[in-house]
Amino acid sequence: MSGEVVVVIPARYGSSRFPGKPLAPILGRPMVEHVYRAATAAKGVSRVLVATDHRGILDAVRGFGGEGVLTSEDCRSGSDRVAEAAEGVEGEFFINLQGDEPLMEPAALEEVISLLKRSPDAIATLKRPLQNLEEYEDPNCVKVVCDCKGFALYFSRSPIPFNRGRLGFDELSTMVGVHVGIYGYHREVLKEFVNLPEGRMERCESLEQLRALEYGIPIRVATTSYVSVGVDTPKDVERVEALLKKENDNG
């Protein structure tokens, strides 16, 4: 068990904008399969598990040779689903990998694993550089600022820090990163986190990582070149398929 890394992919069936999203076909395979295969390709991963509240998703995962487990429909977040799945499996470290990122790069997972093993008392996650000022101002783009040791100070949908000094983009981008929503936990930190009550900042911003900061759990952040491309609506599937086709053609 010591040192084993388990990747858990929470895959909820219900979605107000895209019901059944994990099963959406992308180049002939369900979206969750693309995420699963990326996770199994990452170095240092001992096991990959899909945690779902829906029998159809579980059957699909088993159909492509993956491993899955049914979890409660009442989980309040992906982290709660990961924690419930973790109760039944051995492992020291657990990665919460979103099931709606079919372009996930194994190298990004490896970065989280490396960071987590160096700082097992903290939650590990990633940021990437800002690409433009539009991202800085976009409330759908979560920003993070860190201290000089790489620990998160705050995450926000708002532009942070407030640019009163009218800094240019180049200087601003050295301070602000775009959060990449992959989380790594030591088993005990995961248990502690999901047993905490909802935080005030979490409720305000609708960002569960703020619960950790409010209750004193440190979050260590590494910089990655990976640019996440999530699927939130059926329209996003077309964009992802085009990017995958381009990637396959170039490969």
Residues recorded for the chain: 251
Of 42, 75, 104, the one marking the end of a domain is 104
The pLDDT value given to residue 117: 96
pLDDT confidence tier of residue 235, bands split at 50, 70 and 90: confident
- Boundaries of domain holding 78: 1-104
83 and 136, same structural domain? no
Q: Is the pLDDT of residue 239 over 60?
A: yes
80 and 119, same structural domain? no
Say whether the peptide bond before residue 161 is cis (omega within 30 degrees of 0).
Answer: yes
24 and 5, same structural domain? yes
The pLDDT value given to residue 131: 93
What CATH number corresponds to the domain at position 214?
3.90.550.10
Q: Is the pLDDT of residue 251 over 90?
A: no
Considering the domain boundaries, does residue 172 fall inside one?
Answer: yes
Considering the domain boundaries, does residue 53 fall inside one?
Answer: yes
Considering the domain boundaries, does residue 251 fall inside one?
Answer: no
116 and 198, same structural domain? yes
Considering the domain boundaries, does residue 50 fall inside one?
Answer: yes
Q: Is the pLDDT of residue 74 over 90?
A: no
Q: Is the pLDDT of residue 1 over 60?
A: no
182 and 133, same structural domain? yes
115 and 100, same structural domain? no
User: What letter does residue 22 receive in the DSSP assignment?
Assistant: G
Rounded-to-integer distance, Cα 144 and Cα 178, Å = 6
Q: How many domains does the chain have?
A: 2
Of 80, 104, 128, the one marking the end of a domain is 104
Considering the domain boundaries, does residue 61 fall inside one?
Answer: yes
Among 118, 151, 119, CA closest to 219: 151
Q: What mean pLDDT do residues 49-78 have?
A: 92
Considering the domain boundaries, does residue 239 fall inside one?
Answer: no
User: What letter does residue 173 receive in the DSSP assignment?
Assistant: T
Chain-centre distance of CA 33, in angstroms? 16
223 and 116, same structural domain? yes
66 and 115, same structural domain? no
Burial class (CB in 10 A: 0-12, 13-18, 19+), 63: exposed
Q: Where are the alpha helices (DSSP H) in 3-132?
A: 31-40, 55-63, 78-86, 106-118
pLDDT confidence tier of residue 16, bands split at 50, 70 and 90: low
Rounded-to-integer distance, Cα 238 and Cα 207, Å = 27
User: Cβ distance 80 to 86 under 8 Å?
Assistant: no
Considering the domain boundaries, does residue 246 fall inside one?
Answer: no
**82-132, pLDDT tens digit by residue?**
999 999 899 999 999 998 899 999 999 999 999 999 999 999 999 999 999
**205-221, pLDDT tens digit by residue?**
999 999 999 999 999 99
CA atoms within 13 A on the CB side of 47: 20
Q: Is the pLDDT of residue 232 over 90?
A: no
120 and 211, same structural domain? yes
42 and 22, same structural domain? yes
Considering the domain boundaries, does residue 135 fall inside one?
Answer: yes
3 and 43, same structural domain? yes
Of 72, 104, 136, the one marking the end of a domain is 104
170 and 97, same structural domain? no
**17-59, pLDDT tens digit by residue?**
788 899 999 999 999 999 999 999 999 999 999 999 999 999 9
The answer to pTM > 0.85 is yes
